[in-house]
């Protein structure tokens, strides 16, 4: 399994891990900041590690769906036609969630949810007030790299819907100077807007089937492939769209 990332010093790192019945084991790591991450470069690195392990001990290579990885996969097929090169299911599902989320009807809702959350956590008095009304339960904040966290943010907001409505209508909130700013007024309008909550509800209905599968394939406790055929998510999504 390959994994490329950038550390805090902006150095590009590529890792290789081995997954077997004993679990996932670190195999190799190299800094590749000065190298172009081409398909050929990735192929040569992976192929070298396969030789070190022994081709007879390798069944498949797992990467994300980036074009350079797909180019490396084609090279591997030519040299080792008996070896599988598989796209990471977690990355694929995240791309599917992102693709759905890029539809305008969902983008508007997600953007409003992000703006509301950012405003809350940017001001300590308002954050303390929210925690008071939600009994110290925080809002899950969206990440930059994985769209699935947007689903968690929406679910977190929906779980606290009543508490948030009480908070924005409280006298304590009116005493916070930041609520009188443009962003403060926008967050108030978001929480009291019934159309926003209808949009959140629709997003959750559509994202939920894919997110359930994502939680299974992204787990480490048990092999997940055997459960995927049972969780066919396209039909639930289609049915939920037909109801709107």
152 shares its domain with 174: yes
In the listed set 87, 118, 138, which residue is the last one of a domain according to the structure? 87
227 shares its domain with 187: yes
76 shares its domain with 112: no
For residue 213, what pLDDT is reported?
A: 78
Q: Choose among 49, 40, 34: nearest CA to 2.
A: 49
The average pLDDT across 22-46 equals 88
Average pLDDT, the chain: 84
Express each pLDDT in 152-195 by its tens digit. 899 999 999 999 999 999 988 888 888 889 999 999 999 999 99
Name which residue leads in pLDDT, 201 or 32: 201
Q: For the chain, what is the total number of helices (H) and then of strands (E)? A: 12, 5
Task: Supply the angle between the helices 182-192 and 104-122 in degrees, to the nearest 10.
Answer: 120
For residue 185, what pLDDT is reported?
A: 92
129 shares its domain with 35: no
Rounded to two decimals, the pTM is: 0.68
State how far Cα 169 lies from the chain centre. 33
103 shares its domain with 216: yes
Least confident segment among 30-39, 91-100, 133-142:
91-100
Q: What percent of the chain has pLDDT over 90?
A: 39
Least confident segment among 19-28, 171-180, 234-243:
234-243
Q: What are phi and psi of 59, to 5 degrees?
A: -100, -45
- Cβ atoms of 181 and 132 within 8 Å: the answer is no
The number of folded domains in the chain is 2
193 shares its domain with 76: no
The helix or strand, by DSSP H or E, that contains position 87, with its residue range, turns out to be: strand 84-87
Kindly report the number of other CB atoms within 10 A of residue 74's CB atom.
Answer: 11
Q: Is 193 helix (H, G, I), strand (E, B) or coil?
A: coil
For residue 223, what pLDDT is reported?
A: 54
Q: For residue 204, what are the contacts with CB-CB under 8 A and spacing of at least 6?
A: 151, 154, 155, 158
- Cβ atoms of 34 and 22 within 8 Å: the answer is no
Whether the pLDDT of residue 208 is over 70: the answer is yes
145 shares its domain with 77: no
Express each pLDDT in 128-141 by its tens digit. 999 999 999 999 88
120 shares its domain with 189: yes
143 shares its domain with 164: yes
Confidence of residue 231 (pLDDT cuts 50, 70, 90): low
In the listed set 42, 60, 87, which residue is the last one of a domain according to the structure? 87
- Cβ atoms of 224 and 213 within 8 Å: the answer is no
The two beta strands, 12-20 and 2-6, are antiparallel
Tell me which residue range forms the domain holding 120.
93-242
In the listed set 67, 87, 107, which residue is the last one of a domain according to the structure? 87
For residue 46, what pLDDT is reported?
A: 92
28 shares its domain with 68: yes
The strands making up 2-6's β-sheet, listed across from edge to edge, are 2-6, 12-20, 23-31
DSSP state letter for 83: S
Structure tokens at 157: 């907001």
Whether the pLDDT of residue 31 is over 60: the answer is yes
42 shares its domain with 163: no
111 shares its domain with 199: yes
Q: Is 29 helix (H, G, I), strand (E, B) or coil?
A: strand
Confidence of residue 233 (pLDDT cuts 50, 70, 90): low
Structure tokens at 73: 């996969």
The average pLDDT across 216-234 equals 57
């Amino acid at each position: 399994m390959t994994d490329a990332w950038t550390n805090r010093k902006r150095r590009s790192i590529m890792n290789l891990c081995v997954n077997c019945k004993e679990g996932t084991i670190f195999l190799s790591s190299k800094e590749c900041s000065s190298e172009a991450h081409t398909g050929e470069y990735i192929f040569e690195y992976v192929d070298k590690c396969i030789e070190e392990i022994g081709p007879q001990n390798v069944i498949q290579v797992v990467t994300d769906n980036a074009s350079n990885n797909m180019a490396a996969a084609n090279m591997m097929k030519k040299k080792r036609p008996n070896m599988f090169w598989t796209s990471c299911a977690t990355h694929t599902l995240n791309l599917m969630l992102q693709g759905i989320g890029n539809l305008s009807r969902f983008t508007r809702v997600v953007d409003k949810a992000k703006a509301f959350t950012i405003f809350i956590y940017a001001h300590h008095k308002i954050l303390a007030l929210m925690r008071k009304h939600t009994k110290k339960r925080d809002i899950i904040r969206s990440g930059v790299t994985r769209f699935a966290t947007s689903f968690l943010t929406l679910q977190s907001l929906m779980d606290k819907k009543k508490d948030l409505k009480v908070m924005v209508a409280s006298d304590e909130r009116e005493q916070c100077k930041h609520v009188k700013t443009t962003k403060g007024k926008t967050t108030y309008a978001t929480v009291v807007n019934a159309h926003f909550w209808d949009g959140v509800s629709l997003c959750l209905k559509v994202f939920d089937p894919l997110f359930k599968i994502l939680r299974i394939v992204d787990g480490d406790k048990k092999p997940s492939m055997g459960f995927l055929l049972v969780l066919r998510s396209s039909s639930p999504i289609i049915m939920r769209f037909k109801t709107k």
